[in-house]
Structure 1
Amino acid sequence: MVIAIDGPAASGKGTLARRLAAHYGLPHLDTGLLYRAVAARCIALGRLADEAASEQAAKTLDVADLDPETLRTAELGEGASVVAARPGVRAALLDLQRRFAGQPGGAVLDGRDIGTVICPEAPAKLFVTARPDVRAERRFRELLGRGEDISYDAVLADILKRDERDSGRSSAPLLKADDAVLLDTSDLGIEAAFAAALAMVEARRG
C-alpha cells in the first residue's frame, strides 16, 4: 500500500504522514528533506545559485544520510524551495523516490508532487492544506522551539513566497491530484486531523 500525501509548507502533511506510517507499520519518506539536503550541500559550497551544483548534489544523495534535525531550519526551507524549482534536480531525485515507494508492502511519502508525479497510481492520496496564517503560526512556533531568531511576519512572507514558487514552477508544480482527497487542517488539532486522514485512507483501502 502506497500512501501519497501532498500539500504546501506547514500544512501538517509531514506530521500526518509520520502518524499514518506508524499506524500501518510502513516506511516513511519526507521528500522535502531531499531538497533541503540538496540545498544544504549547495549552501555549504556557496553555490546555491549554481544549477549544475544542485543537480550533482541530487544525483549523489542517499536517503540513509538524511538528518531531519539539522535540515529543518528556515534557511534550508527557503533553499529547498529554490532548488526544487529546477527540473534537473527533480529528475535526479525521481527514481530515488520511486524506489522508496516500491518497497515490499508499500510506503508513505509526503511532499509536493507525490500524487501527481512520483506515485500517480497510489491507491490512497491526500492533499493536506491550511490557511496561510495558520501555517505561518505553526512554522513560527516550530522555529522558535528550535531556537531560531525569527519573526512571525518573516515566516508568513516566506510561506507566501514558497507557495507562489511551488505552485508556479514549470516542473512538477504543487497541485492536488484529481483523485486525491482534500483535508483542510486549519481548524483541526493533530488528533482530529489524524482521525480524518486515517478515515480517508481506510475509505480508499476499502
Structure 2
Amino acid sequence: MDIISKIIIAIDGYSSCGKSTMAKTLAKAIGYIYIDSGAMYRAVALYCIKNQLIRENPIDLEKLKQLLPSICIGFKSNATGESETYLNGINVERDIRSLDVAQAASLVSAIPFVREAMVKLQQHMGQSKGIVMDGRDIGTVVFPHAELKIFVTASPEIRAKRRFAEMAAVNHNITFEEVLANVIERDNRDTQRKASPLRKADDALVLDNSYLSIDEQFQWLLNAYQNTIHTTQQWS
C-alpha cells in the first residue's frame, strides 16, 4: 500500500461495544497497525492497584504524578499475530481485563495529567499513519484530523450481556447485574468527566452494532474504509 493511501482510522464509542475486536479485525484485513488505547489506561490502572495508589475511591494523585514517567506501556504481537499489552516489560494482557481494573481505569482515565501523557504517546504512535486506534476520545482529541472517524454504540443491556459472557468464562462468581451496573457507571463517568469526555465527533460515522452480526459489522467497516480511501485519493 503506498504512502498516499495510508490514513488514520479513529474508532470511539461506549464500553463493551466490541471496539477493540472490530479495530483489530479491520487493521489485520487492510494491513494497518492496531493500537488499543483503552489498554493503555487499564495498564496505568493496574499499576495503581498493584502499587496501592487506589484506596477505595480516592487516588493518590501526587504519588501517581511522580511515578507516571516511570510507567512504560507498549504492545507486542504474540505467536498468532495478536497485539498484547506490556507494562514495564511484563505481559499484562490478561490482568488488565478484570472488572476491578476496568473500574479503576474509568477513574484513572479521568485524570487530566494521565490523559495528557497517554495522548502524547498515542500521537507519537500515529505519526506514520496506517493505524487503527480505538478508545473514547481518539477522533475528538488524539487525532481530530483523522481521515476516518467511527463512533460505535449499542444499548447498555446488550453491552452488558456481551461483557458478562466474556467475564463469566474466567470469573464464575460474577453476576449480570454487577456487569450491567458497571457498564452504566462507566458510561456516566466517560460522558461526564471534565477531561476529554466521551462524545461523537461532528464528522464521525455512527455504527450501532446492537443487532449486527460480526460479518455485517466487518463489511460496514470495510466499506467505510474503502469509501474514505477513494475520497482521499481523489483529493490527493
TM range (shorter): over 0.9
Quote the offset at 1:39 in angstroms. Answer: 0.7
In structure 1, the partner of 2:16 is: 10
Q: Max radius of gyration: which structure? A: 2
- The answer to whether structure 1 residue 189 and structure 2 residue 213 are counterparts is yes
39, 63, 70: which one aligns with 2:74: 63
Task: Kindly state the Cα deviation for residue 165 of structure 1 after the two structures are TM-superposed.
Answer: 0.3
TM-score, with structure 2 as normaliser: 0.83
* Structure with the largest fraction of strand: 2
Equivalenced residues, count = 205
**Aligned to 1:53, which of 54, 59, 63?**
63
Tell me what 2:132 maps to.
108
Which AA in structure 2 matches 1:30?
D
1:160 maps to 184
Q: Does the aligned pair in 2 maintain the 1:54–1:83 contact within 8 Å?
A: no
| Structure 1 runs, 4 residues or longer, greater than 6 Å off | none
Partner of 1:171: 195
Give the direction of change, closer, same or farther, for the CA distance of 1:53–1:199 in structure 2 (3 Å limit): farther
Q: Check whether the contact 2:43–2:73 (CA below 8 A) recurs between aligned residues.
A: no
1:194/1:96 Cα in 2 relative to 1: closer, same or farther (>3 Å)? Answer: same
Match of 1:93 in 2: 118
Matches of 2:27 and 2:67, distance apart in 1: 28
For residues 48-97 of structure 1, give each alpha carbon's deviation from its aligned partner in whole angstroms, at most 9, with x where no partner exists: 21123333454333214253222111111111001001101101111100
Unpaired stretches in structure 1, ≥5 consecutive residues: none
CA distance in 1, matches of 2:67, 2:174: 28
Distance across 1 between alignment mates of 2:172 and 2:123: 34
Match of 1:37 in 2: 43
TM-align CA RMSD? 1.4
Q: Deviations over 1:95-128 (max 9, x none)?
A: 10001111x3521100000000001111011001
Higher helix residue share:
1
What is the distance in 2 between the residues matched to 1:148 and 1:21? 33
The structural deviation recorded for 1:148 is: 4.9
**Which moves more between the two structures, 72-81 or 60-69?**
60-69
